[in-house]
A and B are shown apart, each in its own frame.
Chain A
Amino acid sequence: DGGITQSPKYLFRKEGQNVTLSCEQNLNHDAMYWYRQDPGQGLRLIYYSQIVNDFQKGDIAEGYSVSREKKESFPLTVTSAQKNPTAFYLCASARGDTQYFGPGTRLTVL
């Protein structure tokens, strides 16, 4: 079954803790992306990666970090430096200019 998987679906963390969100794809796409979705604000780009071992900051990268050691995987770490981490996080991968999205992880920081 091809697609993009994100785990877990729901994640709760205490303030001050780092947390890593998983994103895996078996579509053989080179490019992968992380977005944050907040009510009334649409989706905003956090980080993206065009190829393995390379990634660039998006529009709201502060307080986040990523790695791209494998083509299939693009984990996102939400660090304690992120001031407002509670949000819905979406991962995407792209074939050409078209992006396809995973089911998302809802992170709540208590």
Chain B
Amino acid sequence: AQSVSQHNHHVILSEAASLELGCNYSYGGTVNLFWYVQYPGQHLQLLLKYFSGDPLVKGIKGFEAEFIKSKFSFNLRKPSVQWSDTAEYFCAVNARRGGGNKLTFGTGTQLKVEL
């Protein structure tokens, strides 16, 4: 069975600091990878996704993520965070199996950006 690990459960940064959130998955086959964000009181929103091609993918609001196949990782980065980036971030993996298109989520990272 596939699994997703997010090692940082709580991260506190000052505005303008750089961000990197770790995500590792375990699955031997081909995967699609996602980062979702949940701002306080809002829907879970798609930040970015990787299906194939360039392993460095860019998403909304200045976020990017790099797929490193050899490390089974898909870390999320942002060079300079803003207070409005305070949210919970979820990494997710999709591996087609048994006819289903199912996402497996990590446990989430709560990011707080201080002014």
Contacts and interface: CB of A to CB of B under 8 A. Distances in A.
Interface of A: 31, 33, 35, 40-45, 48, 50, 56, 58, 90, 94, 97-104
B102 interface: yes
Interface string B84-107: 000000101010000111111111
A19 B34 CA distance: 32
A44 B105 contact: yes
Given A97-B32, A97-B51, A102-B43, A42 B101 contact: no
A94 B100 CA distance: 12
A97 B6 CA distance: 22
A50 B100 contact: yes
B98 to A, nearest CB: 8
Q: Interface size for chain B: under 10, 10 to 19, 20 to 34, or 35 or more residues?
A: 20 to 34
Contacts of B42: 103
B46 A98 contact: yes
Given A40-B9, A42-B108, A43-B90, A99 B103 contact: yes
Contact of A41 (B99, B100, B107): B107
Contacts of A99: 103
B49 interface: yes
Nearest to A103: B43
A45 B51 contact: no
A48 B102 CA distance: 8
Contacts of B49: 98
B8 to A, nearest CB: 13
